[in-house]
Amino acid sequence: MSLPTPTNLRERFRMRRRATDRRPIPGLAVIPALMTLGNLLCGFAAIHYAAMPVATSEILGWSTLTVAGCLIFAGMFLDALDGSVARLTRSTSDLGAQLDSLADMVAFGVAPAFMMLRLVSHYYGPEHYTGVLGPDADNLYARATWTIAAAYICCTALRLARFNVETPSASAEDHRWFRGLPSPGAAGCVASLILLHQHLLVKRFGGEFPPGVEKTSSLIIPLVTLLAALGMVSTMRYPHLINRWVIGRKDFRALVRIVIPIVMAVWWLQVALAVCFVAYALTGPMGAMNRRVRRRAHPILPTA
């Protein structure tokens, strides 16, 4: 029997070290799962507050829809961290990926759609109506809005299922771009506009919009919800904000992209949220148009 050479010993040591590095850190592997479950509970709580009649709540005197929107953003914060924490604690797994999709379905699929329905029901339902308009409503607009909410939920499910199938691994390199608008981005568009709507209602107009503005302003939300649903099932490319613009060494332009939204949020939080999420949703179609223009300007000539 031949003795192992120094080269073989070094290779065995490297392989053993790699296997050790892939093991979950004891005591910390449960943290990403708890954060994902926290996202799920935020979505459930958002549905709870959105189901209440639109009125002032006991939480800081906010509107019930404002509380629901803030819970969606709290879930979004947990969702943005759980993947990074799972990679840091070396606890990424297929179970965690599936659990994350189930939590996202509630927090970024059902909750925003129900918030939109509650907003429309409050302004388009009968006088003193406290329910949620559905497909049996007498109002054609209410039935169309319910259909948009149902389509949004279906598109969210399709988006999450496609992400699980198309993403090869949990590494950061495989999470730099998304195919289709991510479900948190779609939920952020809907929730941020509802937050802005309620903020303007209370702060700018003293709790009551001028005549006609209430219904007209709520017409925009279902349209945005429909466009966000279509964006999720599209093939447009969207960047992963955390992996591309935050993590790693960045240049001065990347720093500006981070600082400007933070400064806006300090002074005008609701406006900054709406502007940032709508701008992010528009990066997909704008990028697709830009690439199409470049291809026309510099066509690829066929090789001989």
Domain ranges of the chain: 28-296
Q: What confidence score (pLDDT) does residue 1 get?
A: 47
> Mean pLDDT across the chain, nearest whole number?
78
Task: Indicate if the pLDDT at residue 154 is higher than 90.
Answer: yes
Q: What confidence score (pLDDT) does residue 20 get?
A: 46
pLDDT in tens, 245-259: 555 565 666 666 667
Q: For residues 288 and 267, what is the distance between their CA atoms, to the nearest angstrom? A: 33
> Which one is predicted more confidently, 137 or 169?
137
Task: Indicate if the pLDDT at residue 7 is higher than 60.
Answer: no
Task: Indicate if the pLDDT at residue 19 is higher than 50.
Answer: no
Mean per-residue pLDDT for 121-141?
76
Residue 122: partners with Cβ closer than 8 Å, 6 or more residues away: 53, 54, 129
Task: Indicate if the pLDDT at residue 9 is higher than 60.
Answer: no
> Which one is predicted more confidently, 23 or 2?
23
CA angle 176, 265, 160 (to 5 degrees): 35
Q: Which of 299, 87, 70 is nearest to 195 (CA)?
A: 70
Q: For residues 264 and 138, what is the distance between their CA atoms, to the nearest angstrom? A: 42
Q: For residues 155 and 163, what is the distance between their CA atoms, to the nearest angstrom? A: 12
In three-state secondary structure terms, 22 is: coil
Residue 41 CB burial class (10 angstroms; 0-12, 13-18, ≥19): middle
CA angle 6, 10, 16 (to 5 degrees): 145
pTM of the model: 0.80
Mean per-residue pLDDT for 261-278?
78
Q: Which of 244, 270, 268 is nearest to 258 (CA)?
A: 244
Q: What confidence score (pLDDT) does residue 175 get?
A: 59
Please provide the size of the chain in residues. Answer: 304
Tokens found for residue 125: 């339902």
Residues facing residue 63 across a β-bridge: 56
Q: Which of 73-77, 116-120, 160-164, 215-219 has the lowest mean pLDDT?
A: 215-219
pLDDT in tens, 23-42: 656 556 778 888 889 999 99
Sign, CA torsion 118/122/128/129: negative
Confidence at 16, pLDDT banded by 50, 70, 90: low
Q: For residues 224 and 230, what is the distance between their CA atoms, to the nearest angstrom? A: 10
Are the beta carbons of 194 and 115 closer than 8 angstroms?
Answer: yes
Q: What confidence score (pLDDT) does residue 215 get?
A: 67
> Which one is predicted more confidently, 196 or 216?
196
Tokens found for residue 6: 């120094």
Are the beta carbons of 118 and 72 closer than 8 angstroms?
Answer: no
Q: What confidence score (pLDDT) does residue 302 get?
A: 56
Confidence at 270, pLDDT banded by 50, 70, 90: confident
Q: What confidence score (pLDDT) does residue 54 get?
A: 79
Tokens found for residue 210: 């001028």
pLDDT in tens, 221-243: 999 999 999 999 988 888 876 65
